[in-house]
Structure 1
Amino acid sequence: MTETQNSEQFKAAALVKQFLKAMENRDLTAAGTMMAKDAKIIFPGGKSFKSQQDMVTAARDRYRWIKKKFEQIDTALLPRDRVVVYVMGTLDGLNNFGVEFSGVRYIDRFEVEDGLIVSQQVWNDLAESGVLGP
């Protein structure tokens, strides 16, 4: 790995962490500046969203708030000067019935190109864990 590759991977991981914190704080304006205009956003069940606002609106049916704990972040270089960033950890939150939950596994996969997120894919155990029910 060259110093340039390492630097690009570091920058991509920092961008993704900043993006996830903005989303957690519901600062959609800041988060939007980190996403490419035509970014692909895919959530569990193959649900696609055109924007972070669309994703937040859909999430209102599932939980009141959610926070991500980062346990591991991995990066790799892809062709065409893209960097893939995997973020793994657990989710804590409050469902729509007022019940708190914690320790729900997740993996987020991002692709970063030219300093912007061009793809976000999300996998988690929210549905399987049963934490979204009463």
Structure 2
Amino acid sequence: MSDRTQADLAAVQDYLAASMAPDPVRAATFVAPGFVCRFTGGRVFDTPSGPTGFNAARYKWVKKRIERYDVVPDGDCTIVYSLGYLYGEWPDGTPFDGNRYIDRFTVLDGLILDTDVWNDSAEWLLDPSIAKG
């Protein structure tokens, strides 16, 4: 991995650590001007505080168990995928685990330009029996 792609991966790792704290102010230090987060359900946010606020309403608390990163050089940018599982508690205190997620980041010079976020939460809320497998 080149120094540039390693730095871009480190920016994503630091952003995710700050986001899970949750510390959206610190997470914002890893995003570029004009940052866009396309979140589950087609929601669009322009700061890391958008997803943090949404998650505060959806979950009592939530964390990511990151399984791996896939890093793909793409011209001047680096595409970074973070894959794993969400775990935490629903607002009523019911615990959950094994909720699949994928985050896709476009990174340039150590700053995140945009991210796309997908997970199984909506499906699990619609049909809790899915979560029980």
TM-score by length of 1: 0.88
Q: 1:75 to 1:90 in 2, by over 3 A?
A: same
Instruction: Name the structure 2 match of 1:18.
Output: 14
| 1:86 equivalenced with 2:81 (yes/no) | yes
Whether contact under 8 Å (1:101, 1:131) holds in the other structure is no
How far has the Cα of 1:132 moved from its partner?
9.2
Instruction: Name the structure 2 match of 1:129.
Output: 124
Q: 1:13 to 1:129 in 2, by over 3 A?
A: same
Aligned-pair RMSD on alpha carbons? Answer: 1.7
Whether contact under 8 Å (1:96, 1:132) holds in the other structure is no
Alpha-carbon distance in structure 1 between the residues aligned to 2:11 and 2:54 = 24
Q: Which amino acid is 1:23 matched to?
A: S
Q: 1:18 to 1:128 in 2, by over 3 A?
A: same
- Residue correspondence of structure 1 range 113-128 to structure 2 within 5 A: 113-128=108-123
Q: Given the alignment, which residue of 2, 15, 31 partners 1:6?
A: 2
TM-score by length of 2: 0.89
Whether contact under 8 Å (1:95, 1:131) holds in the other structure is no
Q: Which amino acid is 2:30 matched to?
A: M
How far has the Cα of 1:70 moved from its partner?
1.0
Instruction: Name the structure 1 match of 2:24.
Output: 28
Paired-residue identity, %: 35
How far has the Cα of 1:9 moved from its partner?
1.6
| 1:77 equivalenced with 2:77 (yes/no) | no
Is there any run of 5+ residues in structure 1 with no aligned partner, and where? none
| 1:110 equivalenced with 2:105 (yes/no) | yes
How far has the Cα of 1:54 moved from its partner?
2.1
Alpha-carbon distance in structure 1 between the residues aligned to 2:32 and 2:5 = 18
Instruction: Name the structure 1 match of 2:59.
Output: 63
- Provide runs of 4+ in structure 1 moved above 6 Å: none
Summarize deviations over 1:48-87 as a string: whole Å, max 9, x none.
Answer: 01211122222222112111111111111112x1000001
Whether contact under 8 Å (2:25, 2:49) holds in the other structure is no
Alpha-carbon distance in structure 2 between the residues aligned to 1:56 and 1:110 = 17
- Identify the range of structure 1 (122-131 vs 91-100) with the bigger mean alpha-carbon deviation: 122-131
Is there any run of 5+ residues in structure 2 with no aligned partner, and where? 129-133
More helix by share: 2
